[in-house]
Amino acid sequence: MKRRIMKTGGKWLACALSVLLAWGAMGCGNTNEGSGKSPAASAKADSSTDTSSSDEGGSKEAARTLSIAIPQNANVEDYETNGLTQWLEEEMDVDIEFVLLPATAEDANTKVSLWVSSNAELPDVLCMSLSDTVAQDYASKGIFADLTDYYADPEIAVNISSSRFDEERDTIMNSIRFADGKYYSLFAYNPFPWNEASYRAWVNQEWLDNLGMEAPKTTEEFREMLEAFKNSDPNGNGKPDEIPMMSAKAGYGIDPTTFLMNAFIQTTPGADYMVVENGKLSPAFTTDQWKAGLSYIHDLVQDGLLSPLSFTQDSTQLKTQLTAGEAVVGVTCAGSTSMFGSDPEVAGRMALLEPLSGPEGVCGVSYSPSTAGCIWYITKDCEDPELAFRVGDWFFGEEQSWTARYGQKDVHWTDDPEITKDYLPMFEQYSPAKYVGTIYGSTDIWGQPQNEHWQGSHPYSTPLSEALYQSFAYKDDPDLDSKTNYNTTHLDIYYNKIPDEYVTKFLHTDEELDQLTDYSDMIEYVTSSMAEFITGNRSLDEWDNYLQTLDEMGLNEYVALRQSGFDRANAE
């Protein structure tokens, strides 16, 4: 990949100072008080007066300027000098002016909301995620440019129109379509089976081996295993210090109730716990099966088999328990092996546990299908929206997409067949490996301070047709035996349990979104009641009162609104 020489000199010092001054004003709740201009207006004014000179002394046309508002990221050292920025500017003949937003989503959204409400001139692009409600509101108010015609023109949407997306184009476009049928953003789309059924359970295989037990397949066998973990000293230290099962209240795939409840009824938090049958939605949380699941988990807690800390502690506290010294936790839930820390011994003793079958034979997983998310909104104040779209489209080139995730080609990642032939495929049915995400001996820079990419905070995609052909490990890695390819196991025992029907997304009109605010406490009430029933703070004898409260909160109206959003999202 070509790299552009780092920009220096008076012009770029002025631009850097302009951005810093704009950010300082933003932090004070003002927008360039001295000039009376917004940060975007100031950036545009500064760039419009720029001139460049050729080596012969003659003038030449300055590169086009595009202002991009983007949240700060501690793992991106400098957006201006970033390798991806330099490459983008060179290839697209554009100068990027960054307007840095606060790092947290809440604060960044607040800043943008203040711009909009004060009618300040906006940057050309908002490169950030917005909630469906906010994005729909801004689009209906004309804050965002309509990109529908650009998407339809393969000479403008060059990379998006390429064959890379042929198999998944419908999924992508349905995901980012707004309620009026138009498109107002470019997207990020990175599908992978591992991420679509993330509520996984892990068992200490060493404990099973020490007790001569097989991994459980039913809820009854699961309980028997936990009882053995509690009473039979599986860690062999002669102390009753074992915690049969422990998890945490929040984190990636970490909630224990979701894994366990799927043995009783389809349970998907991301779909507001809605079950789909023949295209019709119904709430799982009012059924007898839901009540039976709560009763089962309640008994685990009451009998000292599931730690009540699982409903109060966070993922950091859980990780401390899992990684500190001698193993004391038998089963936990986690969407990522990162929960086991960097010690391969800890991860090595944990085995992926199959989804359990319940007393009625139900055996399911919480399924969240890969969808595209909107992330590149071109604003009404952009003077050249076609340029802004073309710049966003640039990120969808194959090399750009892999660079956006892993770093420099042939330094951090590669698709060179002479190198990939020495790597094991992630999935046997998708071999040989065509991509090596992290070349053996290099460093995985994702989640680390670096200056090679924007940490994925922009449009990009590695379609499934590429992602499935990633490598797992270097064949000659001396530590290969200590590494487990959980992706294959997950595909075999989790992915084949996904429901036949499921919620992909809800697509609501402005009116529906406004109505939904009247029911904003509905799901919070469901989840808090779930924890109360499980921990014994509320008796299941109060089940009828719980149902009555849901009715009084407007459950039927809520489900009807969600049904409308579901139908619209799935309309051809």
> What is the percentage of the chain residues whose pLDDT exceeds 90?
78
Q: Quote the CA–CA distance of 80 and 96 in Å, as a whole number.
A: 8
User: So what's the pLDDT on residue 194?
Assistant: 86
Cβ atoms 89, 96 nearer than 8 A: yes
User: Sheet holding 186-189: strands in order across?
Assistant: 94-101, 64-71, 125-127, 373-378, 186-189, 460-461
Cβ atoms 128, 108 nearer than 8 A: yes
User: So what's the pLDDT on residue 14?
Assistant: 34
Q: Quote the CA–CA distance of 507 and 180 in Å, as a whole number.
A: 10
Cβ atoms 237, 326 nearer than 8 A: yes
pLDDT, one tens digit per residue, over 154-177 is 999 999 999 999 999 999 999 999
* pLDDT at position 24 over 70: no
* pLDDT at position 54 over 80: no
User: So what's the pLDDT on residue 253?
Assistant: 93
Mean pLDDT of 344-354: 89
Band the pLDDT of 485: cuts 50, 70, 90. Answer: confident
**E strand or H helix at 290:** helix 288-302
Mean pLDDT of 486-512: 90
Mean pLDDT of 313-331: 91
pLDDT, one tens digit per residue, over 204-223 is 999 999 999 999 999 999 99
User: So what's the pLDDT on residue 284?
Assistant: 98
User: So what's the pLDDT on residue 572?
Assistant: 67
Alpha helices in 307-416 (DSSP H): 315-323, 344-349, 385-394, 398-406
Q: What token pair was written down for 273? A: 């716990």
pLDDT, one tens digit per residue, over 112-150 is 999 999 999 999 999 999 998 899 999 999 999 999 999
Residue reference for tokens 């202002």: 67
**E strand or H helix at 474:** strand 471-474
Candidates 119, 189, 100; CA nearest to 392 is 189
User: So what's the pLDDT on residue 337?
Assistant: 87
Query: What phi-psi label fits residue 447: left (phi over 0), alpha (psi between -120 and 50 degrees) or beta?
Result: left
Most confident stretch, 23-27, 154-158, 520-524: 154-158
User: So what's the pLDDT on residue 524?
Assistant: 96
Band the pLDDT of 484: cuts 50, 70, 90. Answer: confident
Cβ atoms 442, 471 nearer than 8 A: no
* pLDDT at position 298 over 70: yes
Q: Which of 31-45, 177-191, 506-520 comes out lowest in average pLDDT?
A: 31-45
- Choice between 249 and 14, residue whose per-residue pLDDT is larger: 249
* pLDDT at position 37 over 50: no
